[in-house]
Amino acid sequence: MKKKVVIKMSNENIPQENRDGGEAKTDMKKEILSWIFYIGFVIVLTYLIITFVGQRTVVDGRSMNPTLNDRDNLIVEKLSYRFSDPQRFDIIVFPPQGAPNEHYIKRIIGLPGETVQIDEEGNIYINGEILEEDYGLETIANPGRASEPITLGDDEYFVLGDNRNNSTDSRSEKVGNVKRDTITGRAWLRIWPLSGIGFLKHQ
């Protein structure tokens, strides 16, 4: 009868250089996997922040002078409007009608359910009473569609640029009333230029 031979495999039987090479390959695989995990985590986190929390936006044009200037870099936050409604004088970012890939930045003047009108002297009326505000760079010269009373729907806002005579806003049919669900977010913080860094004035 032949004896059964059992062969034991252990590191003692493997040359030192082969053991070291195998361990090095394992370590390299672990490092590569950890980097893949890290990069994936950063990509997912960045997507979530941009989609639900905030994003960097660059101002294009002078319609919000003197509050904002051309090429100002802003952080637009999206979180607060998930828990509360936009307020009067908030500076918001939204796409104009029929141009979902464009984004305008304006200030909220009229709230849902209110009636807005601008007279020939440039006075803004909310529900028949003059609105006290000092954001406008100049007195409004062209009331546009607001020369007649505009009653906002339950989900609509009336917006103006602070540079009142150099702004395409709710006075224009191109923009009209801004729907609540089209608002991208609220301009929150200016991060460039360095001389202008700070939180933006809303209320």
Neighbours of 180 (CB within 10 A): 15
Catalytic (active site) residue 63: yes
- Rounded CA-CA distance 176/56 in Å is 26
Catalytic (active site) residue 174: no
Cα dist from 121 to 3, 37, 42, 142, 149, whole Å? 112, 62, 53, 9, 15
- Rounded CA-CA distance 36/31 in Å is 9
Q: Which of 63, 78, 167, 170 is catalytic?
A: 63
- Rounded CA-CA distance 141/113 in Å is 25
Map residue 53 onto helix, strand or coil: helix
Q: What is the DSSP letter of 170?
A: T
Neighbours of 107 (CB within 10 A): 23
Q: Which of 78, 106, 167, 170 is catalytic?
A: 106
> In angstroms, how far is CA 130 from the centroid of its own chain?
31
Neighbours of 43 (CB within 10 A): 10
Question: Amino acid letter at 169?
Answer: D
Percentages of the chain per state (helix, strand, coil), in multiples of 5: 25, 25, 50
Residues catalogued as catalytic: 63, 106
